[in-house]
Chain A
């Protein structure tokens, strides 16, 4: 804050572009990312892959707000995902409520649960927080199996195929792709707004050094809770969209760490953890790769594609920390340095 009032410091650092310009650039980026929809129309397999890519890009963006910007490594986002999925599916099945109307409710419930479990777990730092959230995820799994009237228990829930806009079930695959694209765009813009707002700076400060942030007057707990609330709301909405697209859910799938909780983090890592567009880039690497592997290795051996994901996770943590986005930035910088050199 004080640095701004000191001209010497202020001028030495490049000012970030104006918010409007930044939003403009990101919309342009999203437009480019949306290109596969018209290009792939008619190819139902790849349209499905792109649809899942958009969905997981959005979910990973949501995780990235607290996990990347705020540095709080949550493994429990499967809970918010499942809360969204169950809320929307239950209300649709029992009351015939349109999923569009249950979205705000799912988000609110996701936030409520996020605040409830985060208040104690945010006492922990780093990997300890990760453990606690992993436990949260397991408890979610147990409760989902146990609360049969709500969740359908171990058998899960099945949503009949009744195409229609009000039901959020689409006859054409590209329509679902557009919906997920919209979700991802919201998540990207939300991340950008958080990043540019005071909250974003606070989250980054907490990430960098919690004690220093506290000393500088940042309310650490409130900052984390705010980041977690936004993240959980977006994740719950993603869960709602997921259930209306897949139309069948059961606890092992919703709470699977490699398929849900950790995948959000993996995608963010591959794309560029803590960056605004990183999760989108990461999703475009991981989701198509995974569905290709599933096809190529699925018959060969059970779990073959997951083996590759495990290896990717280990290697990326070791050699590719900055992600696609960070790598691109690095290349651009070294290119610029070479261009400006005499």
Chain B
């Protein structure tokens, strides 16, 4: 029983990480209707930026996040404005572009760092918190708490603020939203920036608990895609609960089946959801059929 709870808890903590990396991806997905294949690389770049702040200025990642998140917001806006906005309604070209970004960012970082693994050794990466059933790394616990807070804040923002109302209108029907005087392009720009800023937050919080490598984005993006498909494209609650679910499943699969097969397990979830409920557990029906194009 103790082992079971142990595996469950470590799954929850892992799920917190997956939920954090999925929130930004799913926001961009749901609103801008762009599949950002480079989202994992956004996180990777933010991790290295955190490392740079730590290495050069001795800045704690939990302070650096307040510089890096706005920085990534700007970066996201630039990417959306210069590269993706001109390709509206051309989903295939968007795939090429975001994939090109993925390759570019990964290899620029590889060229700069020469592929050496870096780590941000702060107190949070060493400290262990006793949770009763098991001992957990403080960095992971912080991520779990922050992610829950961000998901809650995002939900409240979308539900109650005027900007949130605008975003929901654009999700529902962008043409009608345009007719109501909403600046759809500006909304896309800001939401893409917000998604990138969430990648920035993820990068800063993840930096203390991972060894940084240029390819690390791949670890997150696949899990995030599984989360998005499971939870439903464009749903904040779906991304959060889906993230926790994928973390728990991975933890159990790793303990009871074989750690080497965890990605195969994600994929089985993936296929099962696609066959049973293609729009995800929390998604609006039919999103998977839209193919991101509005006719």
Footprint of B on A, CB under 8 Å? 71, 73, 120-121, 123-128, 130-132, 134-136, 138-139, 141-143, 145-146, 210, 257-258, 262, 265-266, 269, 273, 301-304, 306-307, 309-314, 316-318, 321
Q: Which residue of B has the minimal Cβ distance to A121?
A: B274
A262 near B293 (CB under 8 angstroms)?
no
Any A CB within 8 A of the CB of B48: no
Chain B residues, CB < 8 A from A142:
260-264
B111 near A307 (CB under 8 angstroms)?
yes
Footprint of A on B, CB under 8 Å? 34-35, 37, 83, 86-87, 90-97, 99-108, 110-111, 114-115, 214, 222, 225-226, 228-229, 233, 258, 260-264, 266-267, 270-271, 274-275, 278, 288-293
Given contacts A135-B226, A302-B111, A313-B96, contact A128 B291 (CB under 8 A): yes
CB distance from B12 to the nearest CB of A (A): 23
Expressed in whole angstroms, the Cα–Cα distance for A137 and B11 within the complex equals 25
Expressed in whole angstroms, the Cα–Cα distance for A123 and B266 within the complex equals 18
Chain A residues, CB < 8 A from B261:
142, 146
Chain B residues, CB < 8 A from A139:
263-264, 267
B278 near A136 (CB under 8 angstroms)?
no
Chain A residues, CB < 8 A from B96:
265-266, 269, 313-314, 316-317
Given contacts A121-B274, A126-B92, contact A134 B225 (CB under 8 A): yes
Given contacts A307-B104, A317-B96, contact A125 B290 (CB under 8 A): yes
Chain B residues, CB < 8 A from A258:
103
Given contacts A134-B225, A318-B87, contact A145 B104 (CB under 8 A): no
Expressed in whole angstroms, the Cα–Cα distance for A125 and B291 within the complex equals 5
B104 near A317 (CB under 8 angstroms)?
no
B91 near A126 (CB under 8 angstroms)?
yes
The CB with the most chain B CB atoms within 10 A, among A131, A139, A257, is that of A131
A-B residue pairs in contact (CB < 8 Å), sample of 12 = A120-B275, A127-B34, A132-B274, A142-B264, A257-B99, A303-B214, A304-B111, A309-B103, A310-B101, A310-B105, A314-B100, A316-B96
Expressed in whole angstroms, the Cα–Cα distance for A301 and B114 within the complex equals 7
Expressed in whole angstroms, the Cα–Cα distance for A321 and B93 within the complex equals 8
Q: Which residue of A has the minimal Cβ distance to B233?
A: A128
Given contacts A71-B92, A131-B229, A135-B270, contact A313 B100 (CB under 8 A): yes
The CB with the most chain B CB atoms within 10 A, among A71, A123, A146, A307, is that of A307
Chain A residues, CB < 8 A from B293:
126
Given contacts A128-B291, A138-B263, contact A313 B103 (CB under 8 A): yes
Tell me which of B111, B222, B258, B274 contacts A124 (CB under 8 A).
B274
CB distance from A207 to the nearest CB of B (A): 10
Given contacts A135-B226, A266-B96, A313-B96, contact A124 B107 (CB under 8 A): no
Expressed in whole angstroms, the Cα–Cα distance for A257 and B222 within the complex equals 13
B107 near A307 (CB under 8 angstroms)?
yes
A125 near B226 (CB under 8 angstroms)?
no
Chain A residues, CB < 8 A from B35:
127-128, 130-131
CB distance from B206 to the nearest CB of A (A): 20
B264 near A127 (CB under 8 angstroms)?
no
- Which 5 pairs across A and B sit closest by C-beta, in order of nearness? A313-B100, A125-B291, A310-B104, A126-B291, A310-B103
CB distance from A188 to the nearest CB of B (A): 22
Q: Which residue of A has the minimal Cβ distance to B272?
A: A120
A311 near B100 (CB under 8 angstroms)?
yes
A73 near B110 (CB under 8 angstroms)?
no
CB distance from A128 to the nearest CB of B (A): 5
Tell me which of A120, A121, A125, A131 contacts B225 (CB under 8 A).
A131
Chain A residues, CB < 8 A from B97:
313-314, 317-318
CB distance from A317 to the nearest CB of B (A): 4
CB distance from B203 to the nearest CB of A (A): 20
A138 near B104 (CB under 8 angstroms)?
no
CB distance from A81 to the nearest CB of B (A): 18
CB distance from B96 to the nearest CB of A (A): 4
Chain A residues, CB < 8 A from B83:
314, 318
Chain B residues, CB < 8 A from A125:
288-292
B95 near A314 (CB under 8 angstroms)?
no
Expressed in whole angstroms, the Cα–Cα distance for A128 and B99 within the complex equals 14
Q: Which residue of B has the minimal Cβ distance to A124?
A: B288
